[in-house]
Amino acid sequence: MNIVEQVRLSGVVGAGGAGFPTHVKLGARAEYVIANGAECEPLLRVDQLLMQRRADRVVRGMELAMQATGAKQGVIATKAHYEGAVKALKAALGNRKDITLHLMDSYYPSGDEKSIIYEVTGRVVPSAKLPADVGCVVSNVATLCNIADAAEGRPVVDKDVTVGGDVPHPLTVTVPVGTPMREVIALSGFTGAKEDYALIVGGPCMGKLEEDWDAPVTKTTGGLLMLRRTHLLIARRTQSPERLLKIARAVCCQCSQCTQMCPRNALGLHVEPHKAMRAITTGNGALLGNARSVLACSSCGVCTNYACHMGLSPSEVMAQLKDELGRAGIRPVPEADIRVDPFIVQKRVPVKRLIARMGLAAFDTPAPYTDAGLRPKRVLLPLRQHVGKPAEATVKPGDRVHRGDVVGEIPDKALGARVHASIDGVVTAVDARGVEITGGESA
């Protein structure tokens, strides 16, 4: 059985992003396989600690990905100041030349797929194109570990998660997929109430607010961050679209700092948030210019969290416009005149300064890996933890399952990923939420 099929059977998806099915990605041909170990989001520690603990598995996953794609060169890209991870990776690599380390400065968003490809190869991926179109396949380091496990018949049933923010004891822990987030957060000693605190799933820049603290950890969950509802970051995110528009109309001075600091604009992809602000505040869509340029926005939030000194939210405006364009059937097209900004390096946002600007400096603390041995009595496994079609349940209530058993299969001829039981137990529900398993302990 080849590695692509083993990865498909094991339900491996991109662990650090939207969850693109990895077996499909490995079907491409490439010159480079790039391991994304940049840990793009502030406060998260998952990837750097994983590289420190499982460097050999990262390298093994890289070897298998190169074998699948035909790539002759593998590059593990991570930040130079992740000293423990760098030391472990250097030891795992030895003197080999086919896989090398690329050490990056600490800037945001270094882990953005298009940014990391440019950093490593000097190539720019146009809109509507894939990394494979410029000879690259990019995988998160956790995904590479899962590829290595898949080659040995082990499916994706666990996920590393950082619990951070305003909690007593930030930590990084491995938990079964489907574990209620509330139980993971409790490992940090957090006892706050929902009336006072908000939960961000992911990182502070691109993560999503989650009102249901019992929602399950999925294959793509990397961070659970708690912040007081009075924190500026939460207050900004919870304002209504009407208030956002009212403030923008009153305050936006069209300084264009949001566009000048935009990482995608610096790559030559013509993303111009100030024009989006101009269009929405005046109600004149013609002022947007090339509407398709909005679709090249990565939603990194630099414009909102760093560039705008007026406290506005250009990234929220861009998100609204992207949704509207998508509903109208407008799709991105490749740029014909990509010219990388000659000052792209100077425009990179230092992570420490970003953290300070966002009011998160007090929470920029270690989140050491903890072998908590969490064994939830109940897990909920969503059948869609990935890009594509939801998996189709292969079990029914009353069925007994063991950790690693298939509970969701890829629909015929569809883009998707398998789902596996993460604990031993009995299926107690199969519904729109997913497959619920109760009882038993993790094997």
**Structure letter (DSSP) for residue 13:** B
Handedness of CA 370, 371, 372, 377 (dihedral sign): positive
Tally helices (H) and strands (E) across the chain: 16, 19
d(CA 441, CA 15): 24
Which structure tokens are listed for 150? 């898949």
Helices 83-93/46-53 angle, 10° precision: 40
Query: 86 and 78 in contact (C-beta within 8 Å)?
Result: yes
Report the pLDDT value the prediction gives residue 442, as an integer from 0 to 100.
37
Determine the distance from the C-alpha atom of residue 311 to the mean position of all C-alpha atoms in its chain, rounded to a whole number. Answer: 25
Report the pLDDT value the prediction gives residue 241, as an integer from 0 to 100.
84
Q: Which one, of 170, 216, 210, lies nearest residue 194 by Cα? A: 210
**pLDDT-flagged residues of the chain (< 70):** 440-443
Report the pLDDT value the prediction gives residue 239, as an integer from 0 to 100.
87
Helices (H), 133-209: 141-150, 181-186
Report the pLDDT value the prediction gives residue 194, as an integer from 0 to 100.
96
Task: Please give, one letter per residue, the 3-state secondary structure of 73-126.
Answer: EEEEEEECCCHHHHHHHHHHHCCCCCEEEEEECCEECCCCHHHHHHHHHCCCCC
Q: Which one, of 140, 112, 80, lies nearest residue 266 by Cα? A: 112
Tokens 């990776």 -> residue: 89
d(CA 161, CA 340): 35
Report the pLDDT value the prediction gives residue 417, as an integer from 0 to 100.
98
Tell me the pLDDT tens digit for each residue of 18-48: 899 999 999 999 999 999 999 989 999 999 9
